[in-house]
Structure 1
Amino acid sequence: MFRVTVQRSFVAQHFLTVPNPGPEGEVHSHQFTAEVGFEGPDLDEYGYLVDIDAVKAAMATVVDRYRDTTLNDHDAFAGENPSVERFARVFCEEVIAAVDSDVPERARVTLWEDDEAWASYETAL
């Protein structure tokens, strides 16, 4: 199985909307690190699982959308608690929508919240 992973870091804010969120219910920032990975058993005619430059470009677009903003203000989180788990799914779906490749079979985003915790979302392509 081949795997390709690209990583980017950025700062964004959010506040949790669950009952009794404690201090997490106030707007606060996190240093997020997104690791976007693709995997599959085959390579394309050029020897690529996925074009790393295309992944970098897709990630840059997603990072630019969320960097220095409050997640709660984005349509992707409307009416939803903007947990790191949900953010991992949103980030993954937005990146894979922008990467044009038929070779990988799976995609995964691991999203670090500061350097203490992470959540991951994985999907078949």
Structure 2
Amino acid sequence: MFLLGVSDHIMIAHSFSDPFFGPATRMHGATYSVDVEIRATALGPHHVVMDIGALRAALRRALDTLDYRNLDEHPAFPGRTSTTERVAEHVAALLADDLAKLPAGEAPPPGATLRVLVRESPSAYAGFERAL
């Protein structure tokens, strides 16, 4: 299995409506470190999973939709549901849509998978994986 990964970060504000989250029901900020991996069983025509610069640019485009935003007001997280897992799922969906628009020779090989890992701190993270 081959893999290609890139990282970036975002700063957000949010709160949760569910009392399960205790003090996090109040507005608070977070700086998320976001790691993305594409895994493929074979390399593409250029002997890579895909161009690393193209993946970095796609990640930045996805993160720009969240960076410096109050996620309580973001349509992707109705009812104040912007858990780390949901953020990872949202970023994965944006990335998958973006990567699907690449020409065949530039896109990840058929059967590739995408993994998005969102770190809330050096010791806590959540993620989402999906097929491309």
Q: CA RMSD in A?
A: 1.5
SS in 2 for 1:17: coil
Structure 2 unaligned spans of 5+: none
| d(CA) in 2 for partners of 1:64, 1:102 | 22
**Worse overlay, 29-38 or 45-54:** 45-54
For the residue of structure 1 that corresponds to 2:30, the secondary structure is: strand
The aligned runs of 1:1-125 (5 Å cut-off) are 1-79=1-79, 81-99=81-99, 100=102, 101-103=107-109, 105-125=112-132
Percent identity reads 26
Cα drift, residue 102 of structure 1: 4.5
Change (3 A) 1:80 1:13: closer
Q: CA deviation at 1:19?
A: 2.6
What is the CA–CA distance in structure 2 between the aligned matches of 1:3 and 1:110, rounded to whole Å? 14
1:80: Cα distance to partner?
5.2
Contact 2:30 2:120 in 1 (8 A): yes
Give runs of ≥4 in structure 1 deviating > 4 Å: none
Deviation at 1:116, TM superposition (A): 3.2
Structure 2 counterpart SS, 1:45: coil
Task: Please give the TM-score of this superposition, normalised by the length of structure 2.
Answer: 0.87
Secondary structure (helix, strand or coil) at the match of 2:53 reads helix
